Chain A
Amino acid sequence: MMEYLLNGFADAFSMAVFPVLVLGVLGGVILGALPGLTATMGVAILLPFTFGMAPTPALVMLIGVYIGGIYGGSIAAILLKTPGTPASAATVLDGHTMAIKGLAAKALSIAAVASFIGGLISTIVLIAIAPILADFALRFNAPEYFALALFGLTIIASVSAKNIMKGLLAGTIGLLVSMVGLDPISSVPRFTFGILDLYSGINIIPVLIGLFAISEGLNQLEKLSSDKQDIPPKFDYKLLSFSDFKKILPTTIKSGLIGTSIGSVPGAGADISAFACYNEAKRVAKNPEEFGNGSMHGLAAAESGNNGVTGGSLVPLLTLGVPGDAVSAVLLGALIVQGLTPGPLLFTQNPEIVYGIFSSMIVANIVMLIIGFLGIRFFCRIIEVPKIIMIPIIIFLSVIGAYAINNSMFDVGIAITFGLLGFILNKLDIPSSPILLAIILGPMAETNLRKSLILYEGSWSFLYDRPIALAFILFAVFSVYSTIKLKKKERLAEEKK
């Protein structure tokens, strides 16, 4: 194995691969930072360019885009409160608050370091225990997926700011939105009102753009009237200090490991992982009230968690041929185009390719860290752009981003609708993140609950007679209990003040 890994490193630094890898990571960072352009989209866009390339540089470039894209999403999330990708929706919670407080450079450096550590852990785990993790994920069936989704949904309570009921209300709105379209089991149209575009359901990207980017644009526009003079925000270029690094390291490592585990479960992507890691970091934090108010731990957990998925999602792809998320589904296509069949045989028939990918992932993470740090000064300039110019830029990018997903004006309409909804909900102190979380997890929960009921002939016993499902359900109960306890503590502390 070591021999293949060393050869892989030699390949990664060769003139045929290294420039492609740097370009891939850089392209991924830029794509990820643009709202609407996700890592999945980046990999999909660049896929045709790899058809004429040799297998290693082709796959390395796409993996570079993947790693860079997940990190890139955090740049817009931190600076513009506009998550570039769904994976960085959790980054907004603390990252943007830090930027508002004048700590944009620090937030960006934490994001870069946490993404690097998350990605590195993920790759190391991928190399070391890929087959074991894949075997664990193989035991997942409908009841386990339902329990996992249920556990994910309990995170809503944690990201609900002050009022859990308002967060839950947002969550139910998201769940109802996720049910628009053809029913996944019986194909009965639900809430489609005869509109053909609604039959395939509501795409999450325009919803994300609307809720976070457009509503933020409208919020800023409103503030413009109160800020008579357009004073550029004050911030310093102080990066993450060594003492801060030591503080966030345990959270970052833990989140990287959680992210890797979540990523290795097919169907659970970087977005779910980021929220799950954020929730876990908040649950064990000494000062959980800091979460949502610019907590370094919250930001590090979300970023390490979403980049932790990059390696994890390749575990089932490479060992079983089952993609862990949308990006690895595109990578599966890339492997097939190159004449390779993902699965256990890939390790024996083409070990040089597999270990070449592993080595390149480590190098890609290092390149991402370097680009992240070198780019901080440049990225920070974004915040100095006068708001009067920035607002239409956000709105235009949002509209174009929503259109570009499917070349559809219908998606633009969805983005605008959710933009208005997000703006109004913000005024009512109802958080937007639970809507997104519910849209991601709703279909997973519903489909697998109904599949489980079919499997168990109408009996609900799958909730307690399957150990993995039971474990997730217990985690869910514990998560809700600890959140309620935490909120109570916060309220008491606030009343004392």
Chain B
Amino acid sequence: MLNRNIFFPSLVIFLSLVFLVLISQFEEPRYQDAPVGAGFFPAVIAIIQIIICSVLIIQYKKKQKPQKEVTLISSHSIFGFTFLIGYAVLITLVGYLPASLIGFTYYLLFYRVKKPLYYVTAWIFVFAIYFLFSEVFIISLPEGLLFF
């Protein structure tokens, strides 16, 4: 199994190296009288990042104690990710009101909530936010590609 204390810093080191390659490909302005260019600051940060991650890996290797591994991502967090992304997709397609009503109801059904009060609260919340934003603050909420 991958050790997160080694894997994450290694991933950041790899990404920093990718950034350094990208930085070297930054466009050059036609006229440049500045002593340092657009790539200076990001390059310094990427190098610092590599140093920090190397220190983190060494630190971990040095005092490696048997640690209780906690699962990084549980089934509930996977549901959370997909719910979040699903809601964002739905809101883009059908707009705030239908997406939120469907999303909230689906979420309560997924967790097998039986109390009708929770469903009523959810729907009132969705309508209250709609009223607050669109009528009081005059901020338009997503209308959805399908109804636009």
Residues of A participating in the B interface, judged by any CB pair closer than 8 Å: 31, 37, 45, 165-166, 168-169, 172-173, 175-176, 179, 183, 185-191, 214, 217-218, 221-222, 224-225, 386, 388-389, 392-393, 395-397, 399-400, 403-404, 407, 409, 412-413, 416, 419-420, 423-424, 427-428, 446, 449-450, 453-454, 457-458
Contacts and interface: CB of A to CB of B under 8 A. Distances in A.
Interface residues of B, number: 69
Nearest to A407: B140
Interface in B83-123: 83-85, 87-88, 91-92, 96, 100, 103-104, 107-108, 111, 113, 118, 121-122
A165 B126 contact: no
8 contacts: A166-B56, A221-B79, A222-B80, A392-B103, A395-B87, A400-B96, A453-B36, A454-B35
Given A185-B34, A457-B35, A396 B45 contact: no
Nearest to B49: A172
A386 B37 CA distance: 53
Contacts of B121: 389
Nearest to A214: B84
B42 A176 contact: yes
Interface of B: 4-5, 8-9, 12, 19, 22-23, 26-29, 32-42, 45-46, 48-49, 52-53, 55-56, 59, 70, 72, 74-77, 79-81, 83-85, 87-88, 91-92, 96, 100, 103-104, 107-108, 111, 113, 118, 121-122, 125-126, 129, 133, 137-142
B139 A45 contact: yes
Contacts of A214: 84
Contact of A221 (B76, B113, B141): B76
A416 B88 contact: yes
B38 A176 contact: no
A423 B77 contact: yes
B81 A179 contact: no
A188 B27 contact: yes
Contacts of A37: 137
A420 B59 CA distance: 26
Contacts of A165: 52, 55-56, 59
Contacts of A458: 35
Contacts of B84: 214, 217-218, 395, 399, 416, 419
Contacts of B92: 409
A187 B35 contact: no
B88 A427 contact: no
Nearest to A218: B80
A253 to B, nearest CB: 36
A173 B48 CA distance: 11
Given A169-B56, A172-B52, A409-B91, 14 more contacts: A173-B12, A179-B42, A188-B37, A190-B26, A218-B80, A395-B84, A396-B103, A396-B126, A397-B129, A400-B133, A412-B91, A427-B4, A446-B41, A457-B35
